[in-house]
Structure 1
Amino acid sequence: MRINRRPGSVLLLVLVVVAMLTLGTATYLELMQNERKAVRHHGRGVQAVRLAESGVEYVKTLLAMTPADLQTAGGLASNPATMQAVIVDDQGDEFDRGRFTILAPAQVDGLYSGYRYGLENESGKLNINTLLAPGAEEQAAARLMAIPGMTPEVVDAILDWLDADEELRANGAEAETYSQVVPPYAPRNAAISDLDELLLVRGVTPELLYGLDQNRNLTLDAVEHPRGLLVELDNADGSLNRGWSAYLTVLSVEGMQPAAAAGASSTLIDFNDQNLQQLHTDLQSAVGAEMANFIVAARQHGLQAAVDPNAPK
């Protein structure tokens, strides 16, 4: 008697096909879900960039206001009403609502602590690209040494990184020094565009440059303790909470002058020059007649008289 086994074989084949289709469908669904998440994350990343750019443009409009209007709006130093959680894209879902906040380091007793909703005046810092400007080079080392935790070795290394020559300063570092690191690189020998570049300079560490605030959120978290070279430095007064970034910049007005950054032929002007006629001449060629008149008037009669011609002299 002959037994036909084909129905059982067909059933097994159908089960295998169904299992493969199920697995393929599940894989496809997972792939589509991942693609959806990736697209959403990319979109939110683009949105974050646009929100940050909106914040920049918003600050520009504030800076373009007249002093009186700006004061009425709350000023630039600490103004939560104007600079905290500013809505750009008011979506119904709070999760998708686009905002930006303008933050700056806060100061307590002259030292940085926490944050505030406002702007930071970069011109109140030492622009590192102006250290070797004509007329300023002799004071460059002394100006850097005034920064807490700075050493002569790091000072010379920074100046060697900035200057255009390959002459090694007493405690400095030039191309030969950096050719021995792995991977090797060469010093800039010119103005830098970002403070982060100082991390390439021999002797400069993240702890020294950015201080205790390791995640750079403008707040000292409970887990942020001195590390690296900061362990050896006295930071009892909190002067190194933000490291050297609290004292250095590449963004101040001085650094925007090509002559100052590139070492062109113009020289620095001494505002305390006793020869006011010569001072006025020098200023007029540099900043124009109106500003020259203002500065000389301030020298002669005080700042209030320069601002208000009717003020008593």
Structure 2
Amino acid sequence: MKRILQDNSGVALIVTILIISLIVSLTLQFNISMRSDLHAAANLRDGIKLGYIAKSGFNCALAVLREDASEGNVDSLLEAWADLKTLSDNSGALFYEGWFQVEVLDHSGRIQINKLVEGSQYNDTQRKLLTRFLKSPEFGLEDEEVENIVNAVKDWIDLDDEVTEGPGYGAESGYYQGLDKPYVCKNAPVEFIEELLLVRGVTKGLFYGTKEKPGIASYLSPYGDDGKININTAESLVLKAFSDRMDDQMVEDMVAHRKDRNNDLSDPNWYKTVPGMGDVTIAEDLLDASSTNFEIVSEGFKGAMAKRVTGMVKRTGSKCDILSWKIE
């Protein structure tokens, strides 16, 4: 028995194995940690690169807008800023790794939602425009729903706390504070178009659209201070909302007229030269042939990674001021 207790060779072997196992475990853990740090550093590096690539696309679009301003004050979808596909397709040649895709969206071709109200009163021309727009069959709204939404948008923007009535009903803070997650009515101009999601009657389906129906978001803008819409760049649903007498065929003919480079689009009343539209009258204070407010969306790519830069730009003459800026 004494001899067995004095034999420690087996214990030494076990201790050695435990130490080796611990060293191997620590080494593997250190290796994993180093690899994680390496990947994180690489992602950070690529993220920075993508940000600069996207910003490069944004600045290229700015340069195109400035150049366009020097060529005249008429804007249409036939101009370089409206089709930057060639620039995007060739952007890979500008970088060692990566490329960008950039597009310019004309907000001057959209309905200026804040011009619906002047002080605490309706701008009647803008009210009729927005009402006709929301009554488009594509949105699938009943007449009563449209009237309620228009009134609710007015109440969101106007300066008072009086609920707008007739026809339909608007909504002030009394309604919004009764919701499960209460908030107050803004009673001020819309700053970002997503604010409309807070307005009674404007659902996510109506705002963003569904597989079957378009959304209203891409036809409205919080930017602009005169209520005028560039007839040369407005979407078909906006064109149709210009007058009660507009029909789908007229809109198609107007779009075809705009695509013909031989046609003069400098006078916004060119629509009267379109066959069948000689008797149609559109309110003069709705029409323009030039654009001021643009949204630039530039996305940088490197392999499977991407980063987007979105900015709103106000162009005055050849000067472009950035109104808002977002990196995603």
Q: TM-score range by the shorter chain?
A: 0.5 to 0.7
Aligned residue-pair number: 211
Question: What's the TM-score, normalizing by structure 2?
Answer: 0.56
Query: Any idea what the Cα deviations from partners look like across 1:60-91, whole Å, max 9, x if unmatched?
Result: 111121328x99x9722334223435247522
Higher relative contact order, chain-length normalized (CA < 8 Å, sep 6+)? 2
RMSD: 3.2
- After superposition, the Cα gap between the structure-2 partners of 1:85 and 1:198, relative to the gap in structure 1 and judged at 3 Å, is farther
Q: Is the 8 A contact 1:141 1:156 kept in 2?
A: no
Residues in 1 aligned to 2:37 and 2:53: alpha-carbon distance in whole angstroms: 24
Q: 2:89 aligns with which of 65, 80, 84?
A: 84
Give, in angstroms, the shift of residue 183 of structure 1: 2.6
Q: Is the 8 A contact 2:190 2:222 kept in 1?
A: yes
Q: Structure 2: any 5+ residue segments left out of the alignment?
A: 228-265, 268-283, 289-328
Residues in 2 aligned to 1:254 and 1:36: alpha-carbon distance in whole angstroms: 54
Q: 1:50 aligns with which of 49, 52, 61?
A: 52
Alignment of 1:142 with 2:142, yes or no, is no
Aligned residue number for residue 249 of structure 1? 221
Residues in 1 aligned to 2:126 and 2:45: alpha-carbon distance in whole angstroms: 47
Residues in 1 aligned to 2:178 and 2:93: alpha-carbon distance in whole angstroms: 50
- After superposition, the Cα gap between the structure-2 partners of 1:5 and 1:89, relative to the gap in structure 1 and judged at 3 Å, is farther
Aligned residue number for residue 108 of structure 2? 123
User: Secondary structure of 1:120's match?
Assistant: strand
- After superposition, the Cα gap between the structure-2 partners of 1:179 and 1:86, relative to the gap in structure 1 and judged at 3 Å, is same
Aligned residue number for residue 37 of structure 1? 39
Query: Any idea what the Cα deviations from partners look like across 1:32-76, whole Å, max 9, x if unmatched?
Result: 2222222222333333333222222211111121328x99x9722
User: Secondary structure of 1:102's match?
Assistant: strand
Letter in 2 for 1:168: V
Residues in 2 aligned to 1:245 and 1:100: alpha-carbon distance in whole angstroms: 25
Q: Is the 8 A contact 1:123 1:254 kept in 2?
A: no
Alignment of 1:157 with 2:152, yes or no, is yes
Question: What's the TM-score, normalizing by structure 1?
Answer: 0.58
Q: Is the 8 A contact 1:74 1:82 kept in 2?
A: no
Query: Any idea what the Cα deviations from partners look like across 1:4-53, whole Å, max 9, x if unmatched?
Result: 33221122122222222222222222222222222222333333333222
Alignment of 1:133 with 2:105, yes or no, is no
- After superposition, the Cα gap between the structure-2 partners of 1:42 and 1:62, relative to the gap in structure 1 and judged at 3 Å, is same
Q: Structure 1: any 5+ residue segments left out of the alignment?
A: 92-96, 104-118, 213-224, 227-239, 256-293, 304-313
Q: Is the 8 A contact 1:51 1:88 kept in 2?
A: no
Give, in angstroms, the shift of residue 188 of structure 1: 2.0
Q: Is the 8 A contact 1:84 1:102 kept in 2?
A: no
Residues in 2 aligned to 1:61 and 1:15: alpha-carbon distance in whole angstroms: 69
Q: Is the 8 A contact 2:115 2:225 kept in 1?
A: no
Aligned residue number for residue 102 of structure 1? 102
Query: Any idea what the Cα deviations from partners look like across 1:212-258, whole Å, max 9, x if unmatched?
Result: 3xxxxxxxxxxxx33xxxxxxxxxxxxx43x1123201234648xxx
- After superposition, the Cα gap between the structure-2 partners of 1:129 and 1:79, relative to the gap in structure 1 and judged at 3 Å, is same
User: Secondary structure of 1:67's match?
Assistant: coil
User: Secondary structure of 1:152's match?
Assistant: helix
Give, in angstroms, the shift of residue 208 of structure 1: 1.0
Bigger mean CA offset, 244-253 vs 197-206:
244-253
Give, in angstroms, the shift of residue 163 of structure 1: 1.4
